[in-house]
Copies of this chain bind each other. A is one copy, B any other.
Amino acid sequence: MKEEVFYGRGMKKIKSDCPEVYDAITKLNDVVYNGKVLDYKIQKLIAIGIVTSKCDESATEKQMRSAMKELGVTPDEITDVLRVVLLLSGMPSFTKGMRILEDIVK
């Protein structure tokens, strides 16, 4: 996870107030995104699928932006993720994801 996502406002407060929580999150984040076999980009696509399925708007926007900026993930790739969201989590999650994507790329 890059700065834009990781150092959101909530995280800055954690870093100063609870440095031990911040360290544990940093360690977990590193371990999660250094999988044995899947590369980081595929894991980011999975992350987009998960947060979009939860209808969490701000997390979805953050994950999409960071995936595009850090890893060059394209809108077409994100749309293919959202297809899976449509089948498994239904229309409201899907259209919300498409709208967020549209707002980012326009």
Interface residues of A (CB under 8 A from B): 8-11, 13-14, 17-18, 20-21, 23-25, 27-33, 35-38, 42-43, 45-47, 49-51, 53-56, 58-59, 74, 76-77, 79-81, 83-99, 101-102
Contacts and interface: CB of A to CB of B under 8 A. Distances in A.
A23 B8 CA distance: 25
Contacts of A23: 27, 31
A29 B80 contact: no
Contacts of A83: 18, 21, 31-33, 35, 43
A18 B97 CA distance: 15
A27 to B, nearest CB: 5
Nearest to A9: B99
